[in-house]
Chain A
Amino acid sequence: MSGISRGLLNKNTSARERLSFLGAGCWQHHVPAVCDEINSRGEFLTAYAGEPYEDKGRFQALFEYESMMGELLNMDVVNVPTYDGFQAASTALLMAARITGRSEALICGTIGGDKLSKMCDYIQAHLKPVLLAYAPDSGLLDLADLNSKISGDTAAVFFENPSYLGFLETQAAEISSLAHEHGALCVVYVDPISLGVINPPAEYGGDIVCGDIQPLGIHLWYGGGHGGFIATRDDPAFVLEFPSRLFGVSSTVVEGEYGFGDVAYERTSFAPARRGKEWVGTASALWGITAGVYLALMGPQGMQEIGEGLLQRTAYAIHKLRQVPGVKIPFNGIHFKDFVVDFNEAGQTVASIHQELLAKGIFGGKDLSGEFPSLGQCALYAVTEIHRQADIDRLADTLQEVLR
């Protein structure tokens, strides 16, 4: 059995064995050894449905995760992780629907196809999703289109910062003001590893903030390393609409001792399920503990430095690829990790270029030709802190060879 499964696994090539520029929501970041050490411990790894009396450690670790995420996001309330960022985004929109009593969600048009599909599946019984146009030269949300589509039916305006296509949404404050003028909520999806250097949405009008914790000390795990977060201010109108578990701290009968446990448990489907807000399950608590370890290791200084370095490496990769004949970078502006590479003038499809890169030991980015047909032959490339200058130079040199 072991031999068979090893044989199946060996058919694959890991991103560790090649030079990979794949991102698109699942990035190859450096994982500090302590993250793996802690989430490998049997006490955490195999914990399941314990209660605070024998699983105090898990309750405390997740309370601390929520608190550290709260500091990163400048928000008061953060949930125990949902399955993934897609789930968090879907639930954030349903929370907005319940809070406003409205029936429509306006969603930025540059959102990724997989996320949009999952969100539509999840929200369609309560919310009609409407996509917003974007500017062709920058990818930024088209404010005129937003103005024409927003109405008294709009529960939420949803956008991403950084966007799925990597650029930063610089009109964030204008978008949230417009949402608030119409009584809608502003829901923002963020990459948490950007927040040491980029302002958290709470500072530009975000009401519900969501995202995925995979960048915080979690490997790729073939898409299994995800966990979703949702954050709001400490306003009962918002807090009581979370379906997720929220862990809080309390005093106990022992003087000076901390206790940890569920807050407003009746919201969850663990209480009488018919009265629960949506559904809650065992989800990805192990990754929540891991992300907490990561934030404690990095501290304020580490998060700032890694954010600055990611901005610089992305800018450098864009700078280098711009010099390759036949390659264009369609969206201007500052990017974070991901960026679109345009091969329309190269005379070859993304698929054939990537096949040649593969033969030279490089995983090209994600082919966008199916997901964004209007962009033609474009691909989404990503760099992280694991990429050295020589790696980025090798990509540029190899592309030049391939496109010659």
Chain B
Amino acid sequence: MKAVAPKPSPRRFHQASWDEPVIFELSQPGARGVLVPPVEPGIAQAVGDVSARLPESLRRVTPPALPEMSQIHVLRHYARLSQENLGVDLNIDIGPGHLHHEIQPQGQRPAGAHRLRWRICIPCRTNRRCRVSWR
């Protein structure tokens, strides 16, 4: 009887474990990730403070209790979480093709395409470096 080839030994892979806090625990009062530019003086002069003219029932009084973080801390938090994830790029996930995965050529970027001004439909839920996309 032919000998059965020995089973290859499993890889000595170990996933990153960052012990990453929940994002709200990373909040630092006053920290900003993105600064929003104010409107130009010409706009402000012409229309004034529009939010002050909102009816009371529609004006938000208490700001949403979102975390306050600098950009680098947001980036690191999510980059670490991504390392605690296994995608098809790194290993076998259950059957790509099992549902509707599709292969898409790289380098095509319909990011700026509005659906009302686009003649040819390229269904894409992902972005420029996309290889496999969700449908």
Contacts and interface: CB of A to CB of B under 8 A. Distances in A.
B6 interface: no
B41 to A, nearest CB: 9
Contacts of B1: none
Interface residues of B, number: 89
Contacts of B44: 312
Contact of B114 (A32, A198, A220, A298): A220
B39 to A, nearest CB: 5
Given A2-B105, A15-B117, A44-B85, A196 B111 contact: no
A17 B34 contact: no
B64 A297 contact: no
Contacts of B122: 5, 8-9, 222
Given A48-B96, A60-B22, A204-B57, A297 B74 contact: yes
B57 A44 contact: no
A170 B57 contact: yes
A47 B85 contact: yes
A222 B60 contact: no
Nearest to B56: A199
Contacts of B111: 14, 16, 219-221
B40 A44 contact: no
B32 to A, nearest CB: 6
Interface of A: 1-2, 5-6, 8-9, 11-17, 20, 22, 24, 26, 28, 32, 34, 36-50, 54-58, 60-61, 63-64, 67-68, 71-72, 74, 161, 168, 170, 172-173, 195-200, 203-204, 219-225, 249, 257-258, 281-287, 289, 292-293, 295-309, 311-316, 319, 334, 363, 366, 385, 388-389, 392
B134 A282 contact: yes
A46 B124 CA distance: 14
Contacts of B75: 34, 37-38
Interface secondary structure of A, over-half rule: helix
A289 B110 CA distance: 20
A68 B23 contact: yes
A56 to B, nearest CB: 5
Contact of A45 (B46, B112, B126): B126
B113 A221 contact: yes
B33 A34 contact: yes
Instruction: Name, among B65, B83, B112, the residue most crowded by chain A CB atoms within 10 Å (CB to CB).
Output: B112
Given A46-B132, A308-B49, A22 B116 contact: yes
Given A42-B89, A71-B65, A222 B119 contact: no
A342 to B, nearest CB: 19
Contact of A300 (B68, B87, B101, B132): B68
A295 B3 CA distance: 59
Given A28-B112, A249-B22, A363-B114, A298 B33 contact: yes
Given A14-B113, A302-B36, A197 B60 contact: yes
A303 B66 contact: yes
